[in-house]
């Protein structure tokens, strides 16, 4: 981690919703999802919030040796977004507690606020993480 990894880091990321990120695409094997509306899925929203937080800190860690993994998410999904709309996600790093990073997250689709909340990530050493993970699958 670099000395620049401090509260106050803000990052904005834009993403246009494709049809492949709608509820029916979330789990194609789930019949229940197949009959649901073709709107941006909450599962993909969570991934978009994570992606934005990752992009925010890459310049402030020794990427790719150091990476971050999500350990908590508390975010709303307040409005439906159809494919074709552009989502803007804004994150702000609010706390650095050792290797634990706390972010405020917010997303807007150009019409509605679609998400607001908090996301926590943890800085890892990728090689050490992979070694521990490999022991789990033996």
User: How does pLDDT run across 9-58, given as a tens digit for each residue?
Assistant: 999 999 999 999 999 999 999 999 999 999 999 999 999 999 999 999 99
Catalytic residue among 13, 52, 66, 77: 77
CATH number (3.40.50.360, 3.10.129.10, 3.20.20.190, 1.10.357.10) of 10-136 reads: 3.10.129.10
Average pLDDT over residues 109-133: 97
Catalytic residue among 38, 42, 88, 92: 42
Cα-based angle 21, 15, 70 (whole degrees, multiple of 5):
75
pTM of the model: 0.96
- Catalytic (active site) residue 77: yes
Domain ranges of the chain: 10-136
Catalytic residue among 13, 22, 50, 60: 50
3-state secondary structure of 126: helix
- Could you tell me the pLDDT band of residue 86, with boundaries at 50, 70 and 90? very high
């Amino acid at each position: 981690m670099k000395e620049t990894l401090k509260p106050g880091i803000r990052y904005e990321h834009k993403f246009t919703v494709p049809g492949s990120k709608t509820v029916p695409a979330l789990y194609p094997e789930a019949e229940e999802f197949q009959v649901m509306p073709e709107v941006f899925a909450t599962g993909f929203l969570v991934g978009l919030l994570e992606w934005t937080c990752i992009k925010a800190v890459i310049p402030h860690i020794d990427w790719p040796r150091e990476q971050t993994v999500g350990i908590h998410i508390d975010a709303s999904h307040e409005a439906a977004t159809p494919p074709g709309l552009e989502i803007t996600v804004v994150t702000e790093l609010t706390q650095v507690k050792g290797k634990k990073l706390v972010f405020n997250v917010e997303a807007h689709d150009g019409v509605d606020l679609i998400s607001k909340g908090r996301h926590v990530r943890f800085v890892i050493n990728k090689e050490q993480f992979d070694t521990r993970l490999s022991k789990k699958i033996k």
